[in-house]
Amino acid sequence: MTFGEYILLTLLAIVVVLLLRYRRHVFQFIGEVRVELDKCSWPWDPNQTGLKKYKELIESTAVVIVSTVLLAGFVTTSDLVLAHVVGFLTGGGMTK
């Protein structure tokens, strides 16, 4: 076995020992996470089927994508304009 394999096995053994030692806390944490996730409001109706089930999710995703593209265009345009203005004022840079 190589040195790296010994290190990997040692780390794996440490993880197993920690999981066995703190298993009650780990299972309690997982149980609490499940309870909190049950309280969440998910962006789809569980009674719907097919793509209708994900209508709100798809619409929200489209809004995020369009907003991101618009913001990217604004930032790119602003950067280009400011680079030209600064280049013009300083006599160098991007004056093409």
User: pLDDT by residue (tens digit) across 29-79?
Assistant: 999 999 999 888 777 666 777 777 778 888 889 999 999 999 999 999 999
Most confident of 5-9, 17-21, 49-53, 75-79: 75-79
> Using 50, 70 and 90 to split pLDDT, how confident is the model at 95?
very low
Give every CB contact of residue 52 below 8 A, 6+ residues apart in sequence.
Answer: 45
Q: Which whole number is the average pLDDT over 16-31?
A: 92
Comparison of pLDDT for 90 and 96, the residue scoring more: 90
| pTM reported for the whole predicted model | 0.50
Do 93 and 54 sit in the same domain of this protein? yes
What is the pLDDT at residue 94?
57
Query: Do residue 35 and residue 50 come from a single domain?
Result: no
What is the span of the domain harbouring residue 49? 44-96
Radius of gyration of the chain from its Cα atoms, rounded to whole angstroms? 27
HSE-CB at 62 with a 13 A cutoff on CA atoms is: 6
Number of domains in the chain: 2
Residues 53 and 84 in one domain: yes
Same domain, 35 and 13: yes
